[in-house]
């Protein structure tokens, strides 16, 4: 394969909702370019994109697929992404690596929640967008209505480049308003017959042509001047104006295809080759040091690894983008994340499972390698002349959590190794061994996401696993001040144990003044602040520990032991065994023995005095509350709101995004365990949501009492 320079390379992400036809479009693109001699079909499990067993079994794309096509002396690197919101990590990775997004739209459904989500990501990343309408041959396709929806949702920047004369089973022709020609295909698609526009379509075509010319001219002063003079631009001038408009997101061109019949795909490739921005025409990226790294083939070499794939009989296949310089087969580079040396012994470009050897890749190009010894997803490799790091891909918070364990406990270690390996393939899988909950948690983007993980463990690695609901990480705190004392005394021959601690506890809030006096039942306790420790807790909140002992009642050397006893109870609250937080403790008196007092005595005295006081200080259970944003078609708004309120959700706002509504709410984590599945069922898969931890809030009294009773019963059973 020839070596392409940076000005001949274009990187494109192919996105769209489930059912939009991305895999079928990929087959037609590869066929049109001559990369494959026969188009595969999803139903026959022989496509370039979906080549993993789990994808064949489920009939869905699970992984992104990197492929390339060569067209008119240009190289188009395309990353085909899964449509399900559960695999959003692949879409975000692709958008960060590529420069242009194709948003494929099902012609019968129009813009869906996946379209909304993907467009929102392109907005955040400032990426050019092409809307591509597929399935024009479907019975219920209404292109005019679909175009109106796009323009209502995304504004006047949405400009059609083509439109079908008719849609439905007899679809076979388009009007192209750049070429100002009619394109007609035979039953097998392929190359169209190019004809003049029929008289009955000419007015509509000229109106759309004029709108496109005006939109293209707005992005270049010289073109604008020419437009004002003649209201016309040449085809090349229109291409230049559209390209500049795409870079600045001033134009979102709309194209049409029928991928299954290979109609319009060749014309789409012409546009991608002739108009879509080259890699060196896009804004430069910054490394983690804030330095701009230009796509210069002559600069020091750096490559960024964005994807790992575990393939049968091969092992790890590592995909990368050349960020700067020129990478050659045999180059030895340094992993700036891990400090190790790495030799790139084999260099490939790829199309799904097919790999083609190359001798070098220039800045901006995408390739892969195998049998690398110490590379992980997200690593950067550099030559001796630079030490760049790249780390700009930000993934969403998990929204579906399950505890996982191996059915056969002896396979637990092997399961953990496989889970950590799989996370290299999909960084949105999070694996956590929770000391607090005593569970191994796997976190993902939805039920299907985790079901895929389970399928692979059981079918690829032959490890039987089972899921259970995550325990909720409650917190305990207090609502009023309380005092307590405890004497620990033990005599069993020889040296004994003795320690007595008197303390006050109260709720702590950030910034509250130091205490001066407490009053309990008419007895005044004055605070003489001799020492203060402010301890940020790993699980959130703080413990404030104050030494107010006077007259040598307790030697200062025993204060760390008292604090140790208190901390042991903070780690296992008396109500539910959960972590306690936001408590201030004042030790104001006590007693010690000149012979029998020691650290263990005061640790136990402090622990028990704190536990007694905690129970008398209006203890409360706090539960984790999450900020939830739901994106739903307006038709389902009422059902979604009712469902959230039934989950103890507090609706805090709503607004519109085109035909979709965005609903914001605060919802307890306990009520979100199956929300991903329920929302999909409620809306027919047309809604999505994101969630993020917000705060800990007091739990309703009835639910708290139930939780405390269940914990007490559990303790009795374990005793």
Among the listed residues 447, 414, 491, the one whose alpha carbon sits nearest the alpha carbon of residue 58: 447
Q: Would you kindly state where each structural domain of the chain is located, as residue ranges?
A: 6-281, 291-382, 400-471, 479-618, 621-702
Render pLDDT for 690-699 as a digit per residue (tens, 0 to 9).
Answer: 999 999 999 9
Evaluate whether 558 touches 597 at the Cβ level (below 8 Å): yes
Report how far residue 411's alpha carbon sits from residue 419's, in angstroms, rounded to the nearest whole number.
12
pLDDT at 71: 86
The CATH-assigned architecture of domain 400-471 is: 2-Layer Sandwich (3.30)
pLDDT of residue 719: 62
pLDDT tens-digit readout, 22-35: 999 999 998 888 88
Q: CATH assignment of 479-618?
A: 3.30.230.10
pLDDT mean over 417-434: 92
Mean pLDDT across the chain? 92
390 CB-side CA count, 13 A: 27
pLDDT-derived band at 493 (thresholds 50, 70, 90) equals low
Q: What is the mean pLDDT of residues 447-472?
A: 94
* % of the chain exceeding 70 in pLDDT: 99
pLDDT value, residue 145: 94
Question: What is the side-by-side strand order in the sheet with 439-444?
Answer: 430-434, 439-444, 400-406, 465-469
**Contact criterion met (CB below 8 Å) for 507 and 477:** yes
Q: 111-115, 177-181, 534-538 — which is least confidently predicted? A: 111-115
Check residue 574 and give its pLDDT.
82
> What is the average pLDDT across 371-400?
92
Question: Does CATH number 1.10.3210.10 belong to domain 6-281?
Answer: no
Burial, 413: exposed, middle or buried (Cβ in 10 Å; 0-12, 13-18, 19+)?
exposed
Whole-angstrom Cα distance, residue 104 to residue 618?
A: 57
Q: Which residue has the higher pLDDT, 48 or 146?
A: 146
Residue 638 reports pLDDT greater than 70? yes
List, for residues 280-313, the tens digit of each pLDDT value.
888 888 999 999 998 899 999 999 999 999 887 7
Answer yes or no: same fold for 6-281 and 291-382.
no
Q: Distance between CA 653 and CA 571 in Å, rounded?
A: 37
Band of pLDDT at residue 18, cut at 50, 70 and 90: confident
pLDDT the model gives residue 545? 98
Distances (CA, A) of 400 to 113, 209, 580, 648, 666: 19, 48, 26, 18, 16
- The CATH number of 621-702, from 3.90.1150.10, 3.40.1390.30, 3.80.10.10, 3.30.70.240, is 3.30.70.240
Is pLDDT of 379 > 70? yes
Q: What is the pLDDT of residue 79?
A: 96
Looking at residue 709, its pLDDT comes to: 92
Predicted confidence at residue 217, as pLDDT, reads 85
**CATH topology assigned to domain 291-382:** Elongation Factor Tu (Ef-tu); domain 3 (2.40.30)
3-state secondary structure of 218: coil
pTM reported for the whole predicted model: 0.86
Q: What percent of the chain has pLDDT over 90?
A: 73
Would the pLDDT of 6 be above 70?
Answer: yes
Least confident of 126-135, 200-209, 234-243, 343-352: 234-243
Instruction: Render pLDDT for 329-370 as a digit per residue (tens, 0 to 9).
Output: 999 999 999 999 999 999 999 888 888 999 999 999 999 999
pLDDT at residue 213 in the model: 86
């Amino acid at each position: 394969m020839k070596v392409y320079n940076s000005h001949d390379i274009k990187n494109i992400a192919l996105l769209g909702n489930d059912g939009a036809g991305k895999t079928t479009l990929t087959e037609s693109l590869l066929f049109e370019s001559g990369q494959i001699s026969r188009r595969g079909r999803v139903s026959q499990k022989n496509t370039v994109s979906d080549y993993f067993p789990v994808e064949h079994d489920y009939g869905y794309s699970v992984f992104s697929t990197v492929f390339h096509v060569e067209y008119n002396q240009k190289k188009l690197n395309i990353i085909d992404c899964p449509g399900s919101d559960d695999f959003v990590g692949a879409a975000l990775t692709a958008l960060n690596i590529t420069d242009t997004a194709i948003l494929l739209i099902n012609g019968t459904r129009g813009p869906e929640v996946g379209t909304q989500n993907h467009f929102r990501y392109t907005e955040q990343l400032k990426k050019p967008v092409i809307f591509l309408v597929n399935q024009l041959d479907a019975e219920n396709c209404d292109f005019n209505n679909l175009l109106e929806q796009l323009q209502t949702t995304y504004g006047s920047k949405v400009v059609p480049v083509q439109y079908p004369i008719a849609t439905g089973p007899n679809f076979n022709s388009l009007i192209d308003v750049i070429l100002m020609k009619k394109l007609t295909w035979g039953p097998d698609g392929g190359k169209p017959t190019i004809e003049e526009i029929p008289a009955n379509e000419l007015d509509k075509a000229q109106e759309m042509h004029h709108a496109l010319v005006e939109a293209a001219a707005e992005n270049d002063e010289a073109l604008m001047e020419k437009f004002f003079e003649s209201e016309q631009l040449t085809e090349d001038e229109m291409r230049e104006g559209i390209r500049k408009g795409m870079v600045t997101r001033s134009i979102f061109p709309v194209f049409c295809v029928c991928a299954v019949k290979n109609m319009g795909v060749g014309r789409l490739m012409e546009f991608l080759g002739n108009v879509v921005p080259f890699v060196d025409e896009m804004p430069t990226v910054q490394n983690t040091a804030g330095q701009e790294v230009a796509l210069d083939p002559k600069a020091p070499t750096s490559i960024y690894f964005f994807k790992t794939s575990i393939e049968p009989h091969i092992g790890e296949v590592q995909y990368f983008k050349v960020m700067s310089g020129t990478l050659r087969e045999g180059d030895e580079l340094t992993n700036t994340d891990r400090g190790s040396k790495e030799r790139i012994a084999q260099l490939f470009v790829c199309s799904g499972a097919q790999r083609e050897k190359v001798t070098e890749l220039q800045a901006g190009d995408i390739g892969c390698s195998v049998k690398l010894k110490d590379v992980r997803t997200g690593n950067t490799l550099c030559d001796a002349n630079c030490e760049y790091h790249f780390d700009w891909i930000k993934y969403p918070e998990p929204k579906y959590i399950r505890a996982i364990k191996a059915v056969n406990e002896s396979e637990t270690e092997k399961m953990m190794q496989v889970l950590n390996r799989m996370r290299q393939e999909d960084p949105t899988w999070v694996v956590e061994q929770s000391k607090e909950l005593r569970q191994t948690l796997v976190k993902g983007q939805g039920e299907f996401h985790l079901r895929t993980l389970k399928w692979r463990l059981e079918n690829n690695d032959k490890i039987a696993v089972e899921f259970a609901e995550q325990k909720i990480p409650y917190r305990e705190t207090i609502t009023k001040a309380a005092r307590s004392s405890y004497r620990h005394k033990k005599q069993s021959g020889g040296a004994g144990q003795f320690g007595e601690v008197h303390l006050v506890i109260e709720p702590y809030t950030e910034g509250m003044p130091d205490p001066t006096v407490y009053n309990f039942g008419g007895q005044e306790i004055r605070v003489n602040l001799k020492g203060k420790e402010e301890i940020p807790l790993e699980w959130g909140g703080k413990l404030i520990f104050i030494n107010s002992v006077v007259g040598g009642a307790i030697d200062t050397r025993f204060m760390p032991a008292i604090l140790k006893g208190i901390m042991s109870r903070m780690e296992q609250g008396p109500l539910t065994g959960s972590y306690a937080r936001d408590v201030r403790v004042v030790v104001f008196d006590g007693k010690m023995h000149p012979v029998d007092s020691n650290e263990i005595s005061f640790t136990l005295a402090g622990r028990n005095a704190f536990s007694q006081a905690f129970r008398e200080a209006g203890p409360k259970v706090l539960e984790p509350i999450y900020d939830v944003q739901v994106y739903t078609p307006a038709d389902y708004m009422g059902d979604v709101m009712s469902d959230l309120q039934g989950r103890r959700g507090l609706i805090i706002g709503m607004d519109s995004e085109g035909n979709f509504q965005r609903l914001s709410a605060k919802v307890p984590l306990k009520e979100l365990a199956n929300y991903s599945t329920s929302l999909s069922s409620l809306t027919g898969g047309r809604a999505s949501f994101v969630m993020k931890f917000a705060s800990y809030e007091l739990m309703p009294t009835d639910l708290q009492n139930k939780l405390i009773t269940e914990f007490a019963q559990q303790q009795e059973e374990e005793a």
